[in-house]
Amino acid sequence: MNETGTSRLRGDLVLAFLLVLLFGALAVAVRQALGPLPLGLAALYLLYPYRGQPLTLRLLLVVIMFLALWILRRLGPVLSPLFVAFILAYFLDPLVARLARRGVPRSLAAAIPLVIVLAAAVLIFVFVVPPLVSEALDLVGQLPTLLQEAAQRVDPLLRRWGARFGTEGLLERSLPRLSDALRQIVSKLQGGMTLLGRGLQWLFALLSFLILTPVLTFYLLRDFTKIRAWIAGVVPLRWQSPAGSMAEELDTLLSKYLRGQAISAALVGLEAIVALSLLRIPYALALGALTGLMNFVPIVGFWISFVSVVLVVLLGHDPWMGLLRLVPVYVGIQFLDSYVVAPRVVGQRVGLHPAIILLAVLAFPIYFGVFGVLIAVPAVAVISVLLRGAMNAYRASEFYRASPPKS
């Protein structure tokens, strides 16, 4: 590059840097009046003419990323039906593709599994959800009473230990505070459910969600092949081969894990409900549903559900006999899931170390709440595939394969 070109490049970089500083000062001054969207669009307008420079291109990518995250956060209630519809379409697409290969028109092939899923959802909401919610609310409401009964049972043992270790009166001092805290939590939960049920805005959002989700799912299922082709066509030609192989690996990994885990969780929940009902354990439906839901959480999910059931059994009329019946049943359910059901419906695991899975399960809820527990393992699996692809690209680069300098 000659001296004139170098001077022009330096001038462009200085100008871009000054524009960024000026725009930052302006954004701080008017951020409350305009908001992130106009500021982000203005930043794109100012930086786009200098997109040929590496630094400016990185700034453009950062602005686009933050602007997209802000839009997703603001449009979360609107985009949630689309997100759920995409998940349903992703689950049902293999069945639709199989029907289409047998000569069924794509629209009819998309409608058949969707109608089956909707019919199953209606049956669940009509016959399963009302008693499940009733048992769950009853269990939450009985927590203070169950705590009092537990305290009465362990009080003689605590008194005996207290006389030996000098902790007399510990239960009497701590029990009222814990009972009051539980009563406040229960009243807030029940009050929140009541207010939520009376809210017209919540009702409208629920109805729109229930109407939009099936419609969007149908159109996504019908055009799923076209959507995949469009996404593949957007990728630059030089990246299509590695991106295609990585997308295929991600699709295989997520499809096996998510579909398999859904089937496994449903079977575990059904087995737990039947077993707890036969053992005549209170709140069998709620505790069985909790067992199935916690099956999505690796390593710690089983123990959370098992400890919950054990606590309810210990507060029953014949706790030790109930515990002797419960332990082999739950061990059998876990054995069937781990060695019979999961290898068949889930297939190969995600290939992550148990310590990484445990850290992900503990870390993701900090940033994503309860939803983070469910997405922890799939998200870390996706990240591992992307990192593996990045490492393969790095090892194939000239920078990595260059010979060391001769001494």
DSSP 271-340: HHHHHHHHTT-TTHHHHHHHHHHHTTSTTTHHHHHHHHHHHHHHTSSSHHHHHHHHHHHHHHHHHHIIII
> Using CA atoms, how far apart are residues 350 and 336, in angstroms rounded to an integer?
20
pLDDT at 7: 61
pLDDT at 198: 47
Is 64 in the same domain as 111? Answer: no
Tell whether 145 is covered by a domain.
Answer: yes
Is 205 in the same domain as 120? Answer: yes
pLDDT at 209: 74
What is the domain count for the chain?
2
Is 40 in the same domain as 102? Answer: no
150 phi and psi angles, rounded to 5 deg: -65, -40
> What residues make up the domain containing 113?
77-228
Q: Which two tokens stand for residue 349?
A: 């695991």
Q: Which of these three, 177, 194, 228, is where a domain ends?
A: 228
pLDDT tens for the chain, 407 residues long, are: 455 555 665 666 666 666 666 666 665 665 555 666 777 777 777 777 777 777 677 777 787 888 877 777 777 666 778 878 888 888 888 889 899 999 999 999 999 999 998 898 888 888 877 887 787 777 767 766 766 666 666 666 556 655 554 445 555 555 555 555 555 655 555 555 444 444 455 555 666 677 888 899 999 999 988 888 888 888 778 777 877 888 888 887 777 777 778 888 889 999 999 999 998 888 888 888 888 888 887 777 888 888 888 878 877 677 778 888 888 988 898 888 877 777 776 655 566 677 777 788 788 777 766 667 777 778 888 888 888 888 887 788 777 777 776 65
Q: Give DSSP secondary structure letters for 139-177.
A: HHHTHHHHHHHHHHHHHHHHHHHHHHHT-TTHHHHHHHH
> Using CA atoms, how far apart are residues 272 and 310, in angstroms rounded to an integer?
13
Q: Which of these three, 206, 228, 250, is where a domain ends?
A: 228
> Using CA atoms, how far apart are residues 345 and 295, in angstroms rounded to an integer?
14
Is 122 in the same domain as 192? Answer: yes
> Using CA atoms, how far apart are residues 219 and 388, in angstroms rounded to an integer?
34
Tell whether 62 is covered by a domain.
Answer: yes
Q: Are 257 and 381 in contact (CB under 8 A)?
A: yes
Q: Are 357 and 236 in contact (CB under 8 A)?
A: no
Give which of 362, 334, 332 is closest to 265, Cα–Cα.
334
Is 130 in the same domain as 199? Answer: yes
Q: Is the backbone of residue 199 left (phi > 0), alpha (psi -120 to 50) or beta?
A: beta
> Using CA atoms, how far apart are residues 258 and 250, in angstroms rounded to an integer?
12
Tell whether 104 is covered by a domain.
Answer: yes
Is 111 in the same domain as 68? Answer: no
Tell whether 166 is covered by a domain.
Answer: yes
Q: Which two tokens stand for residue 78?
A: 């609107």
Q: Which of these three, 168, 198, 228, is where a domain ends?
A: 228
Is 110 in the same domain as 184? Answer: yes
Q: Which two tokens stand for residue 278?
A: 């036969």
> Which residues fall within 8 angstroms of residue 217, CB to CB, at 6 or more apart?
85, 88, 89, 92, 114
Q: Are 91 and 58 in contact (CB under 8 A)?
A: no
> Using CA atoms, how far apart are residues 220 and 91, in angstroms rounded to an integer?
11
Is 83 in the same domain as 219? Answer: yes
DSSP 350: -
Is 116 in the same domain as 218? Answer: yes
The residue type at 347: G
